[in-house]
Structure 1
Amino acid sequence: MSLLLATLLQAAHGNTGAMPNLPDDLIHRPPRSNVIEAPANPTSAWLSECLDQLAEDPARAHSKAQIRRTETSGADRVIANHCLGLASTELGLWDDARAAFLAARDETPEGENSARARFGTMAGNAALAGGDAEAAAAMLTAARQDASTAASATLEALAAIDQARALVALNRGEDALNALSAATQLEPAMVEGWLFKATLLRRMDRLDEAQTAIERASDLAPVDGQIGLEAGVIAVLSGREDSARKSWQSVVNTQPDSPAAQTAKSYLAQIGPAADTPAEP
């Protein structure tokens, strides 16, 4: 048995996760687009200007949004908090981002549940990034409720996925799995839900279920590097080294210059060639 395989098996039975990059993806992931579209009007025009500035100079956008927030009310203030939250996110000011998104949510009229769900999800992500998983879980639970009231399956699924990430950080694996199951039922074509579900099931040593989930993710996104990495991890933990090699090699073949390919190459190097592969001279 290779050193990598032994390490993976030991980690699996300890429910600590196997690979350095994959388990953390349940908690940390690249941000989604957090821009809420609005009809063309002076308020949305100001938001567009702020977003343009955000791409060039987030610190200046942050200051501009702070000033705008103190000088306005109603929808204008909501939009100012929206941009302030985005600028704070770019600057890594998680407490500022959380406060701004919460203010935007709370000042959004009760009947506009879709916007409230989006702002609540952003606030929850900021709280999670700032290390407050408990608060993040509560915010994301509220965001799911707002999305459900708005009858938006997509928003509810997104909030449920992020809620699961917060619950994983709190070591509440079964609750996180329930959230991911809800997300995949609400939006069966959302790849992220199936990938995270597979990763969590693998960490819980429920490999048959993890295999089913990763196959669904692969059907939806055949050349996704993270899916290929996770499929290989599940395979090697299940004793299928050849399948693991194929999964990781497929990542290298389809995305040779990606970070996922570099990770796949390291896994392949550690697991070694198949027993029937002739050694190079």
Structure 2
Amino acid sequence: MIFASLLLATAMQSASPGIYEPAPIMIPGRDDVPEKASGVGPTKSAVLDACLKQANDDPAAATKTALDWIGRGGDWSARQCLGFAYAQGGDFAAATGVFARAASEADVARDPGAASVWALAGNAALANDEARTATQYFDAALARATLIGLALGEVHLDRARARVATGDLAGAASDLERARTDAAADPLTWLLSATLARRQADLSAAATYIAEAARLAPTDPAVMLEAGNVAVLSGQESAARANWQSVVAAAPQSPEADSARANLSQLTAADGSTPAPASESPPTPQSR
């Protein structure tokens, strides 16, 4: 099958950062924030939560709120909110710097929340196309050894995305192995595992991983697109066609649908031969 050979060549190329598009900056759990400030006023946790909520709704207003808080002597939590406001406003360069400073200040304070803020810095850097810097920040988050469970798995997943973007596929594979243990409930773990396995020509593993992603997120366009990619390489053209058609039906205006249409056109034009998938669109990150 001519087109299958073309796809296999594509799968063996170094991974493009676009396949591992940065996930949104997430608000970490608040159980890592010191609770009461002295006096009768609201706790620092409550002030931070309010500021983060405002950043979701009105990043510009939250920027002012956070700067005022910093001006009144606010600690690293105030900078965390400022970074989140910048990220929500799309200024990932500014967010990266502010998160990194907040994480450093949390380190100085020996606060266990530092690891989460280093992870935020990593995600902001990745969103700003600074994959090597992102990797360093994810390294810092993991080095604190305070993250457990899903939070730990998600940082390994994020570092895998950064490592793919820098061409460190072996490192990415190692991180994804850990993510499949600690972040097994996240469909993105399995989707990215399938994509990397396919690119490394391990179609058996890719099929296993994409099946789990489809179990967790059966209507996700990115999952269906990748399922088609794995199927077509495995010689299952009918399954590939069905998956790509499902992408177009489920999300016709999405980047995944554009790729699926191109693949379907190749499949038709090839008169029964197997197509090389079109330029792949980034997976849609799941809520975390």
Fold match by TM threshold 0.5:
yes
**Structure-2 change in CA distance of 1:185 and 1:242 (3 Å):** same
- Maintained 8 Å contact 2:115/2:146: no
Q: Distance in 1 between matches of 2:95 and 2:200?
A: 33
Structure 1: gaps of 5 or more residues: 18-22, 277-281
Q: Does structure 1 residue 236 correspond to structure 2 residue 232?
A: yes
- Maintained 8 Å contact 1:194/1:214: yes
**Structure-2 change in CA distance of 1:102 and 1:15 (3 Å):** closer
Q: Distance in 1 between matches of 2:81 and 2:135?
A: 23
Q: Distance in 2 between matches of 1:78 and 1:123?
A: 13
**Structure-2 change in CA distance of 1:258 and 1:16 (3 Å):** closer
TM-score by length of 1: 0.80
Q: CA deviation at 1:61?
A: 2.1
Q: CA deviation at 1:126?
A: 1.5
Q: Distance in 1 between matches of 2:15 and 2:180?
A: 24
Write the mapping of 1:1-281 to structure 2, written as runs, cut at 5 A: 7-16=6-15, 24-26=18-20, 28-37=21-30, 41-72=42-73, 76-108=74-106, 112-113=111-112, 115-146=113-144, 148-150=145-147, 152-255=148-251, 258-272=254-268
**Structure-2 change in CA distance of 1:189 and 1:57 (3 Å):** closer
TM-score by length of 2: 0.79
Q: Distance in 1 between matches of 2:102 and 2:14?
A: 38
Task: Between 231-240 and 103-112, report the one with greater CA deviation.
Answer: 103-112
Q: Which residue of 1 aligns with 2:284?
A: none
Q: Distance in 2 between matches of 1:43 and 1:94?
A: 25
Q: Distance in 2 between matches of 1:84 and 1:180?
A: 31
**Structure-2 change in CA distance of 1:143 and 1:172 (3 Å):** same
**What residue identity is the alignment partner of 1:31?**
P
**What residue identity is the alignment partner of 1:194?**
W
- How many residue pairs match? The answer is 263
Q: Distance in 1 between matches of 2:134 and 2:22?
A: 15
Secondary structure of 2:75's partner?
A: helix
Secondary structure of 1:62's partner?
A: helix
**Structure-2 change in CA distance of 1:16 and 1:182 (3 Å):** closer
Secondary structure of 1:188's partner?
A: coil
Q: Distance in 1 between matches of 2:183 and 2:58?
A: 36
Q: Deviations over 1:84-136 (max 9, x none)?
A: 111111233333212222232233366643x2222111111112223332221
- Maintained 8 Å contact 1:144/1:155: no
Task: Between 185-194 and 162-171, report the one with greater CA deviation.
Answer: 185-194
Q: Distance in 2 between matches of 1:171 and 1:259?
A: 24
Q: Distance in 2 between matches of 1:111 and 1:252?
A: 50
Q: Distance in 2 between matches of 1:97 and 1:169?
A: 20
Q: Deviations over 1:182-205 (max 9, x none)?
A: 110223222111111111111222
Structure 2: gaps of 5 or more residues: 37-41, 273-288
Q: Deviations over 1:141-163 (max 9, x none)?
A: 221233x434x111111100111
CA RMSD of aligned residues (A): 2.9
Q: Distance in 2 between matches of 1:214 and 1:137?
A: 25
**What residue identity is the alignment partner of 1:165?**
R
- Maintained 8 Å contact 1:143/1:156: no
Q: Distance in 2 between matches of 1:47 and 1:14?
A: 44
Q: CA deviation at 1:239?
A: 2.5
Relative CO higher for 1 or 2, CA cutoff 8 Å, sep ≥ 6?
2
Q: CA deviation at 1:59?
A: 2.7
Secondary structure of 2:106's partner?
A: coil
